[in-house]
Structure 1
């Protein structure tokens, strides 16, 4: 998995999953542009990567504005001569139930996750097309965007939107040799600590205790480092034929999310009135109605 000829940008990489992605890419030889809003975190990440023999530099700026995206790409080109990989990982949480969520709560999450992904990918693609050698776009989604999650209207919407953009970009960029994929990780981080039943496991991991097998396998939750290998794989030549996919990774589990598909279909000449739908619903669609939210094994839920 030799990435020594690659240059990557990883947004939100001062800590957590983003730092694990940046370190993993550097470990395989890629030069990395680290990004964070916190100068100390960004500088520490660069120091860790360079101390391990890697190449890295930092851009301290909030993801969302087009100016940040431009600065990230300009820094990659000025520092390392080119750009090959864009990993859009930056994110924040403002969790509240719908009736308590403010406009500011909603807008902040959408701006960083959704707009930040859009602006950074757009800028990277402009550079990829100029270079004429293809490229790799790796966008970080979430199971919350696939299934929904209580208290995360803003986050779930943003993550679902990211996967929607990935599918569209995969079609638009295929002829240019640019692959676009989403990674939906589950890892014990400060962000997953906000989920009440996971908080004790995150704290236990900090104390050096291993996560129980049921979490690593059934929930697919592990350390940030557990979720990093798929990023190097998607950045490599080995993944040149993979695009438009949403890949789940965490703990001991690697999985592929399905694209939305019609599951049950009925036809009626002349169309469907409200009364017709009511009469046919239970008979035709009742058993096909799908659940919402993640489904977890009983043994990991609070009692």
Structure 2
């Protein structure tokens, strides 16, 4: 097994994507610390991993603050003797457009996604460095953090921030041999179940059938298990040279996202004043402005009669 002898923490792994990541890490030989805020859900996740032939224990705690991060690392060491892998998957949604989003909506999402990733990574890295372990930190981003999405100011900020931290950590952790990467999943979740566009894909998955090729191939949308293999790979020794990257996975598609680069560059001696920009900006950059949001392909007619009616 590629991860035999390794120990992993997966936050937010009681169900959904997080559980898929935890199960795959266990299949590859890692012992896993499962995390959820619901004790029954966490216990069921441990049972499922055990039924698969894996080893797992649970920590019931809300990710965000330092205390939970410390508890997770301590549990890994107490239960399995070490820690090698951290996957920061825990997250919540509080979707609202800007004028309807409250301070609490914003703070809750930032605390779990962004601060939770920060505190857990800090705790894990401190352990790796102290023990001389070339550990793996795998964070979970989102296409929303890369491109934006209506009604998700809080979520977009958190997910973009996670990728920014990963790029910074890749520099700071290089000397210790620790890698840090972000996975950008495109998969069926509780959220996508509410979107008519994905109805046919979700229905097929729930029947235990393969999703239509349009979703898996053209759109790069699939199941949680389609993403789990990438998480396990990044946790392995085979990925020792991969760090500071944002890597997308969904359906049959794998993507390496670029780091932000200038789309166009112009120079003017003496700099760019207001009048110069009024006169020249449109001519220089008007046809090079970047798109925002995800641009979904039109659904084939046979996949969207209900979706068309819903819209």
Deviation at 1:229, TM superposition (A): 0.1
Q: CA RMSD in A?
A: 1.3
Q: Deviations over 1:112-144 (max 9, x none)?
A: 000000000000001000111211000000000
Following the alignment from structure 1 to structure 2, what is the Cα–Cα distance between the partners of residues 104 and 191?
20
Counterpart in the other structure of 1:177: 177
Deviation at 1:77, TM superposition (A): 0.3
Deviation at 1:196, TM superposition (A): 4.4
Following the alignment from structure 2 to structure 1, what is the Cα–Cα distance between the partners of residues 225 and 254?
14
SS at the partner of 1:76?
helix
Deviation at 1:194, TM superposition (A): 4.0
Counterpart in the other structure of 1:147: 147
Deviation at 1:251, TM superposition (A): 0.6
Q: Deviations over 1:150-197 (max 9, x none)?
A: 111111110000000000000000000000000000111113224442
Counterpart in the other structure of 2:114: 114
Counterpart in the other structure of 1:92: 92
Counterpart in the other structure of 1:163: 163
**What TM-score do you get using the length of structure 2 for normalisation?**
0.94
SS at the partner of 2:267?
coil
Counterpart in the other structure of 2:251: 251
Counterpart in the other structure of 1:236: 236
- For 1:44-63, list aligned pairs within 5 A: 44-63=44-63
SS at the partner of 2:262?
coil
Deviation at 1:200, TM superposition (A): 5.4
Counterpart in the other structure of 1:13: 13
SS at the partner of 1:198?
helix
The answer to which of 198-207 and 232-241 deviates more is 198-207
Following the alignment from structure 1 to structure 2, what is the Cα–Cα distance between the partners of residues 158 and 288?
27
Deviation at 1:208, TM superposition (A): 3.2
Following the alignment from structure 1 to structure 2, what is the Cα–Cα distance between the partners of residues 244 and 149?
24
Counterpart in the other structure of 1:67: 67
Deviation at 1:198, TM superposition (A): 2.6
Counterpart in the other structure of 1:133: 133
Deviation at 1:241, TM superposition (A): 0.3
| 8 Å CA contact retained: 2:63, 2:69 | yes
| 8 Å CA contact retained: 2:201, 2:215 | no
Segments of structure 1 that go 5 or more residues without pairing to the other structure are none
